[in-house]
Amino acid sequence: MTAYFSELENKTVIVTGGSKGIGKDIALTFAKLKANVVISGRDATVLKASLKELQEYNPKCLAVSGDLSDIGEVQKLIDKAASEFGTVDVLVNNAGINIAKPAMEVTEADWDAVLDLNLKTAFFASQAAARYMLEQNSGRIINIASQMAFVGYVKRAAYCSSKGGLVQLTKALAVEWAKQGIRVNAVAPTFVETELTVNMFKDETFKQEIDSRILLDGLSQPADISGAVLYLASNLANFVTGETIKVDGGWTAI
C-alpha cells in the first residue's frame, strides 16, 4: 500500500508568503514530505532564515524575494520555480494583508493594498502557474481565504471583500480549468495563533470575544491550516475542486 502523501515527493510546491506564519508552516509541511518547496517573501533576512529550516528536510528548496503586489514579481516567482524544477505542481496562494480600520477611515490606498495582494496577486499567480499546469494537464491551486469570506467583522471591510472575492475566484478557475486537470480549491481559516498574531491576542477583551465565537477549545494553530492544504494537494482530494474548506472551529456554523 502506498504511504499517504508519498506522491508529493519531488513535486514543485510554491507557497507565496511562505517565510513566516501560516505560510511557513505550510512550506515546512511539504518540505518534510520531500517536496521541492519554493517560498516567497519581502524580508530577505526572514526569508533566508526560513529557507534554512526548509533545507533541513529537503536541500533543494528555494526562496525568491520580492513584493508580490508587483505582478512582474509574481511572474518571476513562478518562472523561477518552473525553470529550476521543470514543473509547477502545487501553488498555495497564501500571501495577504489586513489593514484593520473602521470602514469610515479606510482610504483608497488602504483598499487597493488589501485587494491587490489578497485578490489580484492570487489571480495572476494562478494564471502564471496555470500556463505550466495546462501543458502538464495537471496541477493544484490552493487559495488561503478566510472565514471572513462568509461572515462580517468590524474593521474588516476591505479584508472581507478580498477574501469573499477569493472564494468566488476559486470557483471560477475550478470551473474553467477542470477539464485540463487543474483542481482549484481554498482553505478558510479563523483567527490563527502565530508569531504574527501573538500581540493581537494579548488584548484580553478581544481574545475573549474570539473564544466565545469558536466552538472548539483554544485557538487555531498553523498546523490546522497546513493539514487542510496538504489534503487538497494530495491524491486524497482527487475528486475535489471549486471547494472551500472552513477551518474555523465552528465559528460559521452558528
Long-range contacts of 64-72 (CB under 8 A, 24+ apart): 64/38, 64/39, 64/40, 65/40, 65/41, 66/40, 66/42, 67/42, 68/16, 68/17, 68/40, 68/95, 68/117, 68/121, 68/125, 69/113, 69/116, 69/117, 69/120, 69/121, 71/120, 71/121, 71/124
d(Cα 64, Cα 13) in Å, to the nearest integer? 13
Burial class, 121, CB count within 10 angstroms (exposed 0-12 / middle 13-18 / buried 19+):
buried
Rg (CA), the chain: 17
Set 4, 57, 159, 231: catalytic member: 159
- Strand pairing partners for 12? 36
C-alpha cell at 191: 483567527
What count of Cα atoms within 13 Å lies in the side-chain half-sphere of residue 126?
A: 30
Active site residue 231: no
Question: What single-letter DSSP state applies at residue 181?
Answer: T
- Which residues are marked as active site? 159
